[in-house]
Structure 1
Amino acid sequence: MGRVPLIRHHLPAALLALTLASAVPMAQAAEPVLLVTSPAALQAAEKSGAGFARWMYGESAQSTDGVTANEALMRTPAWRSITEPLGASLSGIQRRDRQAGVGISRYPHRLFDARWLASPDAFFELVGVANRMDRRPFQSGACGETRLVYRLAYRTAAMQSRLPMTVNVELRGDAPDADGSCAAAAKRWQPPQAAMADEALGRWLTSADGPLAPKRLEHARIAQLTTNLQSVRWPSAVRPDLGGHAEYMLRAFRWNAGARRFEIAPLENTPDVARLKANAPLRKELQQWLRQPANLRALDEATLQIPDRFLATEAISVAPRGLERLANRPFAQIFAPGEWQAVPGSRTLQSPQAVLRRLDDLSCMGCHQSRAVAGFHLLGVDRRGASRTFTTGNALAVPHSPHVQDELARRESYVRAALSTPRPDPFRPLAEPMEADAAAGRATVGARCEPTRITQSANAWTDRAEKLPPVACEGAASVCEKTSVGFPGGMCSGPCDPRDPNGTCGGIAILSDFSSCLAAKKPFGECLAKHTRPGNLRSCSAQQSCRDDYICAQANGKPEGQGACIPPYFLFQMRVDGHS
């Protein structure tokens, strides 16, 4: 008998319903849902009470299409309590870096435009609902979490697009059953039918019996609200050795019910590097706490919860090159491998280096730069005729990261076990295995052709990529697209070749001309049409992910869910600049 998909986004509603109906008899209970990303389902949920404004206005928030302009949100103390710290941090970047500012033509370091957070044209739309029952160890007295992921977007007369910012509302799940299990909570994620159209699925989510029922969306359920935004981007012309540089600001907030505002909160398992390095007793206290046997066991299974007194309230992750950048490895900045020992019998702590790697894996920076999509793990489906901001040439083919794709199998196992096991194994493997660092393959289409070695620094601005011997791309007509023009590590390409089983014919932006066109306030479609060239790109899908620092974008002629690998900042929605 066929398996029911637990992630709802890739197939159009009618085809999805047909597939499920043919796979599972209607009498059989549906499988628990893990992740909902279908635009139709999410828009139905927004209209039924799961819109972003709910968290700022309260349950009385209403809008005809489920979204509320940020200009209106700014009238609420709740939204201002989030935007004011974000705005202060952005202003701090500009004070420290005189080359940073909003716009393409004036500033080489392009800053996030904080005006979008109060714009009448901008809004936050729901792009994902995640069943995170596996987070039970982090929520005492609750069956894990439900997460609602919202993404910043805008619509103007000239252009519509999403922007590189997400807000994640993390809600505590229901209380465990009398026997200590979470079987009832797991069953609550089972739709009433195995085959449901997308809109019906969205309405069920927010129904009285659904996982997003009104009582489960109360402010008292908020564990925290987290934000992730691309704070600044340096184009490849500024950092030719890396193919560009981008920074992502990470913040967390907790709900203060009495004040009806959010308050700045510590970031989970993310140490305050500067304070710990400057305070030797505090650093020693953290190390002693981490060395306790119970905490090492929790570290090994990825359920560690470091006390707030050691944690940062703001962090910056950087791209490209993920965990090769020391800025993305906060514990490696604080401790040396020689200060740790292997933990016999552990699954992930088999060497001193592995202990530090696991610690960094649990930090916000390490997480957001491990097999991620330009600093994010969930960005939302772009579907013609369904997504609010769909634009040809500015659309993702896969809405989530390779890490999330792998994670879904683990989460499925956990939720299935929760139906019959009081305490399922919460173990999570490393998001990016250590042995992946040395992985290499043939230099076919999409492969790295300009390998480099990162000279690390805690200050990401001073990181450098030292050139290693180049790799010859396979094929007589192949070329190596250069790092210096925006292809991190170089990328094997060439003329479009329909005979290449791994290739897709796609458009490659001529970045300098494309950016100049946007800076001149020309329409996006015009810039795209005039300043791209065809090329052979690596085919991709959720099951065939792009290599690190590349993104799976929609390509002409490819079915939904399949696309071509390109650098993320070639996609307009993945960059802060050019929108204002």
Structure 2
Amino acid sequence: MSRALRILLAAILLLGGVLSLSAAENAPLARGTAIIDPDLLKKLDQSDALSISRLLEPERNATVPLTSDQLFASLPQLKEILPAIDTEFDRYIAQHKQSVPSETIGVGDGFDVQLFDRFSLKSASTRFVLAGIVNRMDRAYVSEESCGEIRLIYRLARFGPGPDGGSTATRLPMTFNLVMKARDARQADASGKAITCAEVARRWLDNGDWQGLIGSRTGPYDAMVDRIETNIQISIAPKSALHDFRSDYLLKVFKYDAATKTFVESTLENQIDRDRILADDALRRDFKAWLLEPANLREFDRGTVLIPEKYLAKAAVALTPAGLDASTLQPEFGLVEGEGNSDPVFTDNDVVGALKQAAARGIAMENIRSVAGFQRRLNDVTCSGCHQTRGIGGFHFPGVDWLTEGASNATIVPASPHFFGDQLRRRDILTAFASGKRPDFSRGFASRPQTRGSAELAGTEYQDGWGAHCSLQNEGSGTADKSFTSWTCAKGLTCQAAAASSRIGMCFIKTR
């Protein structure tokens, strides 16, 4: 295989993993941790049992899901969402016009940068369809009482008349995630016994009555509602003389305020506000001191850190494709020494010193063993940095397409390589919950799954098979960076540079 062809294939993977295993092959990986069966999702959607409006207003007198215009007009809980999205669009457009005045930007093929049509959010011909349900009890470290989260993921779709008198459906590039608590402390089973985290986990693992645990059946009906997350492909820019193909994704979060019964604009978890930190000397000093404190550095290494809101942003744009190495496209770029900033927040000596201090206190690092590991974690701990890593564009769960005629799990891939690669870890956590053990909530880097001793992913693109991310040997020493020594390739494959990266490559067939 020529180097040019390898790079082309690598680019395909980076742009969306279209060479992924089929969904039928992926389905076993999601057993007990996600609902991706198209027939079941279609049934649940058309019955209105788990629609957005039904979960937010259980007593609503209707039997069908609401169209987009009805949804945002009739549910006062959602009143702040569209104005907040409009504000981000206006900011994005203004920034683009300022940075690239020679390019046109607007809705439609006639523009250099083609925007998502916001009118579809106020249209009578669109609605959000249920595209997947994901168990995130692996996030119980955020709130142990709620046992983690259950995410109901909806995909925006447009419906219209078909050529044969029927109807057609087109999926639009937006997901709407209604995040529910996995458990309410007031929940009880049929015998009156309190529902425990172990019971929730067992129902999911055994494919029991997990649906009966979603939402509150008695007042207050909003007791299990936590937040809404939106992901919109805000623009695409076809390849031109100025740039390669680009696709940007706007990420927003709206936390539920039970007092006002409204979803309010919130910071994104761990979405470091790079520009604000770099511009504020006091804030950057505080952030550095906080993150390098040994206890916080340990949680940062484990992937369970919760960065205080004062350092975070209320919106993020994931720029794709971002490539394998640090670049201006990534959210942390410029915070660490060696990234083009003469005055970074973290110097190499800062990081090395913090790692030594942690070791002196008996804290063993699982992932971050070098400056390169620190930089990679600083990027993939953010929402946008994670969505840039092994995603389908800027999505990790674009959802099951049960709308397509003849769609089945044999042909539709509902989620990214990163998503499927993480299912072993998530299922291990559910298994620990089910058996009454304390789960290990740690996670590896977004580029490589944490296998927890299982060989289920061995030889696949998710771990060490063709197209997997791997560690290149450092020039001079001939060894891999300490943070990525386990990033090897399966037998018959070798780690090869897929782009300009000097540290991270991809597993391809040996050519010599």
Give me the TM-score of the superposition, normalised by structure 2. 0.71
User: Structure 2: how far apart are the matches of 1:237 and 1:152?
Assistant: 29
Distance 2:443 2:33 in 1: 16
CA drift at 1:62? 5.5
Whether 1:142 aligns to 2:189 is: no
RMSD across aligned C-alpha pairs, in angstroms? 3.7
Which residue is 2:462 aligned to? none
Instruction: Indicate which of 138, 153, 173 corresponds to 1:164.
Output: 173
Percent of residue pairs identical: 28
Q: Which residue of 2 aligns with 1:97?
A: 96
Counterpart in 2 of 1:77? 76
2:278 maps to what in 1? 277
Q: CA deviation at 1:110?
A: 0.2
Q: Quick check: 1:436 aligned with 2:470? A: yes
Give the equivalent residue in structure 2 for 1:237. Answer: 240
Compute the displacement of 1:280 (Å). 0.9
Once the two structures are superposed, residues 450-507 of structure 1 have per-residue CA deviations (whole angstroms, 9 ceiling, x without a partner) of 964389xxxxxxxxxxxxxxx9x99xxxxxxxxxxxxxxxxxxxxxxxxxxxxxxxxx
Q: Look up the match of 2:51.
A: 51
- 1:174 aligned residue: 183
Name the SS for the 1:330 alignment partner. coil
Distance in structure 2 (CA, Å) of the matches to 1:80 and 1:323: 39
Count of residue correspondences: 408
Q: Which residue of 2 aligns with 1:357?
A: 376
Report whether the alignment pairs 1:206 with 2:211.
yes
- 1:404-433 CA-partner distances (Å, limit 9, x unpaired): 111111111111111224311111111114
Q: Partner residue of 1:117? A: 121
The within-5 A match list for 1:105-504 is 105=110, 107-157=111-161, 160-174=169-183, 182-191=197-206, 204-207=209-212, 210-211=213-214, 214=217, 218-237=221-240, 242=244, 244-324=245-325, 326-327=327-328, 329-336=330-337, 337-338=347-348, 339-341=350-352, 342=355, 344=359, 345-382=364-401, 387-390=402-405, 397-433=412-448, 436=470, 438=472, 452-453=499-500
Cα distance in 2 for residues equivalent to 1:328 and 1:181: 43
Residue 90 of structure 2 corresponds to residue 86 of structure 1:
no
What code does the residue aligned with 1:142 have? S
**Conservation of the 8 A alpha-carbon contact between 2:184 and 2:223:** no
Residue 91 to residue 189, structure 1, CA distance change in 2 (3 Å): same
**AA of the residue aligned to 2:277:** L
Counterparts in 2 of 1:230 and 1:238: CA distance versus 1, 3 Å: farther
- Large movers: runs of 4+ above 6 Å: 176-181
Distance 2:496 2:375 in 1: 30
- Which residue is equivalent to 1:494? none
Q: Which blocks of at least 5 consecutive residues in structure 2 are unaligned? A: 1-22, 98-103, 163-167, 188-192, 338-346, 449-467, 473-486, 490-494, 503-507
Counterparts of 1:313 and 1:43, CA distance in 2: 33
- Aligned in 2, Cα 1:328/1:168: closer, same or farther, shift over 3 Å? farther
SS at match of 1:189: helix
1:322 CA displacement: 4.1
Amino acid at match of 1:206: Q
Inter-partner Cα distance in structure 2 for 1:71 and 1:61: 16
Read off the aligned partner of 1:453 and give its amino acid letter: A
C-alpha distance in structure 2 between counterparts of 1:294 and 1:320, whole Å = 34
| Shift in Å, 1:400 | 0.8
Q: Provide the C-alpha distance between the structure 2 equivalents of 1:390 and 1:182, rounded to a whole number of angstroms.
A: 39
Output the CA distance in 1 between the equivalents of 2:154 and 2:373: 34
CA distance in 2, matches of 1:270, 1:192: 34
Once the two structures are TM-superposed, the CA of residue 313 in structure 1 deviates from its matched residue by: 0.3
Letter in 2 for 1:188: R
TM-fit CA distance, 1:329: 3.3
Shift in CA distance, 281/220, structure 1 to aligned 2, threshold 3 Å: same
Aligned to 2:463: none
| TM-aligned CA deviation for residue 353 of structure 1 | 1.8
- 1:161 Cα shift? 1.1
Do the aligned partners of residues 440 and 428 (structure 1) sit closer, same or farther apart at CA in structure 2, a change above 3 Å counting? closer
Rounded to whole Å, the distance in 1 between the matches of 2:419 and 2:403 is 24
The one-letter amino acid of 1:156's match is G
| Structure 2 CA distance for partners of 1:238 and 1:222, relative to 1, 3 Å | farther
Counterpart CA distance in 2 for 1:354 and 1:306 is 18
CA distances 1:117-173 after superposition (whole Å, capped 9, x unpaired): 111111111111111111110124221111111111111226531111111122222
Distance change >3 Å, CA 96–CA 60, structure 1 → 2 = same
Label 1:272 to 1:121 Cα distance change in 2 as closer, same or farther (>3 A).
same
Is contact 1:323-1:369 (8 Å) kept?
no
Distance 1:418 1:180 in 2: 13
Unaligned runs of 5+ in 1: 1-8, 20-30, 194-203, 442-447, 456-470, 475-580
Letter in 2 for 1:171: M
Deviates more, 1:46-55 or 1:315-324: 46-55
Tell me what 1:535 maps to.
none
Distance 1:132-1:246 versus aligned 2 partners, 3 A rule? same
8 Å Cα contact 2:268/2:313 also seen in 1: yes
CA distance in structure 1 between the partners assigned to 2:322 and 2:470 by the alignment: 13
